[in-house]
C-alpha cells in the first residue's frame, strides 16, 4: 500500500480542504486514514490536538467538566478554519472562550451567532443563532470572534438556572488580587455597569432572572462552587459571608485569605477543589489550618460532594460552627 503524501507542516493541526488544495493536496489525499473529518470541509491530523488532554491531580482522573471543555475547544478550533468572517461564538461557546464556569452538558454543540439579518448557520454540530445587533458586542481575536463578557452573560438567561447565572456573573465581575495585599493581578473582565447595560440593551429571554442574579453577584468569588455555597447559606437564612477576606495573626502578619469568612465569629468556609490534592498545596493547607486553629478560628472544609450532592450538610456544618462561636442568628 502506497504511503500518502505528507501533509505540509504549514497547514498546522487542522485545516480546510480549500487550504489543502492550495498546497497541492488532491481530493483523494483528503480521504486518507491519517486525517479526521471533524466538520464538512475540514481536516485534522489524526491523533494530534491543538488542546492537550486535561490532566488529573494526585492520580485522579480529570474532571468531567474539564474533559467536556477541552473537547469543545478542539471542535471550535476545527470549525474556525471554515467559520465565516461575519460569524462569532455566542452563549455557552462564548462563555467557553472566556473560561467562564458552566455546568455539564452545555458544550455538546457549538453555539455560533450571526447578526440580523444574516441567515443563521446550519451545519451538523453547530447551533446557529441570529442575534439582534443591539444585543451583542463582538470581540475579534486572532483565531476566534465572540460576544464580549457582558453580552455573553446576558445571553445565558434562558439556558442557566439562578445559581449558575450568579456564578457566571461572579466570574466576570471578579477582581483578582494578590492575597494579603491590595494589588490586583488583572482588571475584571466586566464591570457591574457593563452587565447592567447588556441586560438593559433590549428585550432578553430570562431578563427577570438575570436581574435577580446580578443583584446577588459579587466581585470576590473565585469559583463556581464558592458562588453556590454563598447562595446556599443566604437561602438558608444565614448572613452573607465576606469574600476573599484576608486574615492576619496577632502580630499583623498575613496568614490566609479565606474564601467565605465570618470574621466576627472567626469562622472560615473553604471550598477545596482537586487542586488542593497537589502535594505542595496539601502541605500549605495543613500549615495554614493549624495556625488558624491555634488562634481560635473554625475552618469548614467543603468538597464538591458537599456542595452538589449534600447541600443541606454543607449548610448544617456552617450553622453549627457559627452557633458554637456564639452567633445569635445561627
User: How confident is the model over 134-141, as a mean pLDDT?
Assistant: 95
Bridge-partner residues for 35, per DSSP?
A: 45
Q: Which domains does the chain have, with CATH numbers?
A: 83-216 (no CATH), 224-324 (3.40.960.10)
Q: What is the dihedral of CA 125, 130, 135, 136, to 10 degrees?
A: 50
Q: What is the pLDDT of residue 281?
A: 65
User: How confident is the model over 188-216, as a mean pLDDT?
Assistant: 97
The whole-angstrom distance between residue 25's C-alpha and the CA centroid of its chain comes to 39
Q: What is the pLDDT of residue 46?
A: 93
Rounded Cα distance, 73 and 144, in Å = 11
User: How confident is the model over 127-142, as a mean pLDDT?
Assistant: 95
Rounded Cα distance, 307 and 23, in Å = 53
- Which has more pLDDT, 281 or 224? 224
Q: What is the pLDDT of residue 282?
A: 67
pLDDT at 295 over 90: no
Q: What is the pLDDT of residue 5?
A: 84
DSSP string, 276-288: GGSHHHHHHHHHH
pLDDT at 82 over 90: yes
Sign of the Cα torsion 32, 34, 37, 42 reads negative
3-state SS, residue 110: strand
Q: What is the pLDDT of residue 99?
A: 96
Rounded Cα distance, 110 and 324, in Å = 49
Share of the chain above pLDDT 90, in %: 79
Q: How confident is the model at residue 278 (pLDDT cuts 50, 70, 90)?
A: low
Q: What is the pLDDT of residue 291?
A: 85
Listed range (61-70, 165-174, 275-284) with the worst mean pLDDT: 275-284
Share of the chain above pLDDT 70, in %: 95
User: How is residue 136 written as a grid cell?
Assistant: 451583542
Q: What is the pLDDT of residue 1?
A: 53
Q: What is the pLDDT of residue 270?
A: 94
**Do residues 297 and 268 touch, judged by C-beta distance below 8 A?**
yes
Q: Which residue has the cell 461564538?
A: 89
Amino acid at each position: 500500500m502506497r504511503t500518502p503524501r505528507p501533509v505540509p507542516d504549514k497547514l498546522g493541526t487542522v485545516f480546510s480542504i480549500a487550504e489543502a488544495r492550495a498546497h497541492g493536496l488532491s481530493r483523494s489525499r483528503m480521504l486518507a486514514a491519517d486525517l479526521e473529518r471533524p466538520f464538512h470541509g475540514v481536516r485534522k491530523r489524526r491523533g494530534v490536538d491543538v488542546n492537550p488532554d486535561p490532566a488529573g491531580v494526585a492520580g485522579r482522573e480529570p474532571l468531567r467538566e474539564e474533559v467536556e471543555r477541552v473537547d469543545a475547544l478542539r471542535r471550535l478550533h476545527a470549525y474556525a478554519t471554515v467559520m465565516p468572517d461575519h460569524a462569532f461564538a455566542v452563549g455557552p461557546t462564548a462563555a467557553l472562550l472566556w473560561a467562564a464556569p458552566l455546568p455539564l452538558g452545555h458544550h455538546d454543540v457549538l453555539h455560533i451567532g450571526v447578526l440580523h439579518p444574516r441567515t443563521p448557520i446550519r451545519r451538523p454540530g453547530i447551533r446557529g443563532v441570529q442575534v439582534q445587533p443591539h444585543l451583542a458586542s463582538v470581540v475579534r481575536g486572532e483565531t476566534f470572534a465572540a460576544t464580549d463578557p457582558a453580552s455573553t452573560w446576558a445571553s445565558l438567561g434562558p439556558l442557566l438556572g439562578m445559581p449558575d447565572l450568579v456564578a457566571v456573573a461572579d466570574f466576570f465581575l471578579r477582581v483578582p488580587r494578590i492575597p494579603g495585599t491590595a494589588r490586583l493581578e488583572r482588571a475584571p473582565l466586566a464591570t457591574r455597569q457593563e452587565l447592567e447595560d447588556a441586560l438593559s440593551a433590549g428585550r432578553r429571554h430570562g431578563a427577570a432572572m438575570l436581574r435577580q442574579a446580578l443583584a446577588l453577584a459579587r466581585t470576590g468569588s473565585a469559583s463556581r462552587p464558592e458562588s453556590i455555597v454563598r447562595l446556599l447559606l443566604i437561602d438558608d437564612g444565614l448572613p452573607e459571608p465576606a469574600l476573599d477576606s484576608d486574615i492576619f495573626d496577632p502580630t499583623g502578619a498575613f496568614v490566609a485569605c479565606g474564601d467565605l469568612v465570618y470574621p466576627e465569629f472567626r469562622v472560615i468556609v473553604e471550598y477545596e477543589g482537586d487542586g488542593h490534592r497537589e502535594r505542595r498545596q496539601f502541605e500549605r493547607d495543613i500549615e495554614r489550618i493549624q495556625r488558624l486553629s491555634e488562634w481560635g478560628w473554625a475552618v469548614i472544609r467543603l468538597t464538591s460532594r458537599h456542595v452538589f450532592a449534600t447541600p443541606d450538610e454543607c449548610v448544617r456544618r456552617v450553622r453549627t460552627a457559627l452557633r458554637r462561636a456564639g452567633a445569635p442568628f445561627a
